[in-house]
Amino acid sequence: MNQRVSVSDEWPGKRIGLPAEGPRSVGRLGRRLVALTIDWGFAVIVSIAFFNYDAFATLGIFVAAQVVLLITANGSFGHLITGLRVVPIAGGMLGIWRPIVRTLLMALVIPAVIWDADQRGMHDRVAGTLLVRR
């Protein structure tokens, strides 16, 4: 008997064993955009305060905050406020190289906006990470 899979039977993260909802489910676009807005807003405020708003300083502050907070807290300010965290897909600890690679690729923008069926950007795929709900 040939069974059809309905759209409601599929969700981002199912192929990699993540639940459809709740803790450890894939962080959805809305939360991601709010988190990004919070993080960029923080970088802009610091840039205004210390650099009279400079675009390169803002990007540098954003990158530095991402790397430091991912290494120390598994998430940026925006991630933590919106209930998200970054985890390695293989389990274990993020380490140092994953946050650096993930953040540098995200700063290039294009890798972050190319997603797969599990809503993982190229920056997450290359770094071997997932953005999930806490």
pLDDT digits (tens, 9 = 90+) for 79-108: 999 999 999 999 899 999 999 999 999 999
Q: Which domain holds residue 80?
A: 27-133
Give domain status of residue 73, yes or no. Answer: yes
Give domain status of residue 18, yes or no. Answer: no
Dist CA 13 CA 123 (whole Å): 16
Which residues touch 128 (CB under 8 Å, ≥6 apart)? 88, 89, 90, 98
What pLDDT does 13 receive? 87
Q: pLDDT tens, 5-37? A: 455 688 998 998 899 999 989 999 999 999 999
Given a cut of 70, whether residue 113 has pLDDT beyond it is: yes
Give domain status of residue 12, yes or no. Answer: no
Give domain status of residue 14, yes or no. Answer: no
Give domain status of residue 8, yes or no. Answer: no
Contact 56, 100 (CB under 8 A): no
- First-last CA distance in the chain: 39
Structurally, the chain folds into a number of domains equal to 1
List strand residue ranges (DSSP E) for 1-128, in order: 84-88
Give domain status of residue 3, yes or no. Answer: no
